[in-house]
Amino acid sequence: MELRSLGNTDVMIPEIGLGVWKYRGGAEPLQRGVELGAFLIDTAEMYRTEDAVGQAVKDLREKVFIASKVSGSNLRHDDVLRAADASLRRLETNFIDLYQIHWPNSSVPIKETMRAMETLVDRGLVKCIGVSNFSVGQLRAVRAAMSKYPVVSNQVLYNLNSREIEDDLLPYCQEHGVTVIAYTPLDDGRLAVKSRFRRSQGMKVMEEIAAQVQKTLAQVALNWCTSHANVIAIPKSDSVTRTEENCGASGWRLSEEQMRRLDEAFV
């Protein structure tokens, strides 16, 4: 598994992690992913999977990078602290490696929220601070509100069928050393399965490229994500087999020509 720096820090994370939104796979797929090097597991208080993650990695904690999120409805200073404490209990851990704001909330001053996030780092309960679903303007405001620590990541929707971040958000994050954590990188499985019916031009091209590189469609789609600078991907899988397949998206690279063909086919 290839590793990437988290933001501008010296923390190294895998380019393929494990998402657990709507996760129902139990401990084994997560444990197998960690074994294969996908040791970043991303959860959130609103997912209601923190307890499942905690149970799965309780004997692997020193090998796992746990990312979680505070809900956008809990962004008042004291609410952030309480939410983090509850997440720590559910995860059965003493600290969260990456704590993220799940959604922006314009009704709460961002300085108030970030003051609480920095307090969590001061107390050793959180190692790194990130955000999720933040626009360029919102990310600028967050960075300006920080007084002690950097914002290391922005978790956003990104896949071959959803490329809006390429207009301004992805370049901004690349310029300022903010890791983009791509969620739903397989577009809820639509990029991972060969259709028996009429296929789009994009899927036809991806099938050709998958045959060329002797990889699966899912592996090509994930590798396309991680071939971009500052981008990692967190696909979700409830099975060991699919987790192993997703991890096989690392350790190789699509060529520039293959990337160009995919970019042109998926517009």
Distance separating alpha carbons of residues 177 and 186, to the nearest angstrom = 25
Whether the CB-CB separation of 205 and 190 falls below 8 Å is answered with no
Which residues, 6 or more positions from 221, have their beta carbon under 8 angstroms from its beta carbon? 159, 160, 185, 186, 187, 191, 192, 206, 249
- Cα dihedral 8, 10, 15, 19 in deg (nearest 10): -90
- Token pair recorded at residue 260: 């160009």
Q: How far is CA 262 from the centre of its chain?
A: 22
Which residues, 6 or more positions from 62, have their beta carbon under 8 angstroms from its beta carbon? none
Could you list the active site residues?
A: 47
Distance separating alpha carbons of residues 233 and 39, to the nearest angstrom = 12
Q: What is the bridge-based pairing of β-strands 126-132 and 151-157?
A: parallel
Distance separating alpha carbons of residues 183 and 154, to the nearest angstrom = 10
DSSP 47: G
Whether the CB-CB separation of 219 and 207 falls below 8 Å is answered with no
Cα angle vertex 43, ends 87, 81, to 5°? Answer: 30
Distance separating alpha carbons of residues 64 and 83, to the nearest angstrom = 21
Distance separating alpha carbons of residues 193 and 207, to the nearest angstrom = 10
